[in-house]
Amino acid sequence: MVQESVKIGAMEKKLDEKDLAEQLILEGYSHLYVWEDGPDVEYHEHTHRAESAHIILKGEMSMTMNGETRTYYTGDRCDLPAGIMHSAKTGPHGCRYLIAER
């Protein structure tokens, strides 16, 4: 099941990638990296072997899972169970996001 969107801190403050990474490590994630895509990049349906968390650092990304599309914005977090089929598309200004896997 996909986690509800969670705003991380006051949006007036810049998201601190180091603090976010430390929190994910405390949650048991061990493989973390930052990824950035340009505008309107599409990822067709696929799965991941591991459970993953995506935290949007800048921009937006729409994810479709189980026939439902939801858009995530700066500060939002989306947790994906291992093996769930999903697709994604970045917004018109691209997207920079922190990915963590466990």
Residue 54 lies in a domain: yes
Residue 9 lies in a domain: no
Residue 11 lies in a domain: no
User: Rounded CA gap, 90 and 20, in Å?
Assistant: 21
Domain with 70 in it: 17-101
Residue 6 lies in a domain: no
One pLDDT digit (tens) per residue for the chain, 102 residues = 444 444 444 443 467 899 999 999 999 999 999 999 999 999 999 999 999 999 999 999 999 999 999 999 999 999 999 999 999 999 999 999 999 999
- φ, ψ for residue 101, nearest 5 deg: -130, 145
Q: How many domains does the chain have?
A: 1
Per-residue exposure over 26-57, b if at least 16 CB sit within 10 Å of its own CB, e if not: eeebeebeeeebeeeeeeeeeeeeebbbbbbb
Write down the pLDDT at residue 15.
76
* pTM reported for the whole predicted model: 0.84
Residue 1 lies in a domain: no
Residue 55 lies in a domain: yes
Write down the pLDDT at residue 8.
45
CATH number at residue 62: 2.60.120.10
